[in-house]
């Protein structure tokens, strides 16, 4: 899904900072880029968020 409201994304990032939460550097960079790049969508962010879990599962399963 395309990110059509950069203000909502800015608000989410600001709320996370206020709560003392952080993203991995890669996810944070992608989120910041999404503020100005209309080609980044929620699937790109989701893929990056689940990547470590997918890699761990593949290692466990021997793939």
pLDDT of residue 40: 92
Q: Distance (Å, rounded) from C-alpha 7 to C-alpha 13?
A: 10
Is residue 37, in this structure, part of any structural domain at all? yes
If one counts the domains in the chain, the total is 1
pLDDT of residue 63: 65
Is residue 22, in this structure, part of any structural domain at all? yes
Is residue 1, in this structure, part of any structural domain at all? no
Q: pLDDT of 1-58, one tens digit each?
A: 888 888 998 999 999 999 999 888 999 999 999 999 989 999 999 999 898 888 777 7
> What's the predicted TM-score (pTM) here?
0.72
Is residue 30, in this structure, part of any structural domain at all? yes
Q: Which domain holds residue 55?
A: 6-61
């Amino acid at each position: 899904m395309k990110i059509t409201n950069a203000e909502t994304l800015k608000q989410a990032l600001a709320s996370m900072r206020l709560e003392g939460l952080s993203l991995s550097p890669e996810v944070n960079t992608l989120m910041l880029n999404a503020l100005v790049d209309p080609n980044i969508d929620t699937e790109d962010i989701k893929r990056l968020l689940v990547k470590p879990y997918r890699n761990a599962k593949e290692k466990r399963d021997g793939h």
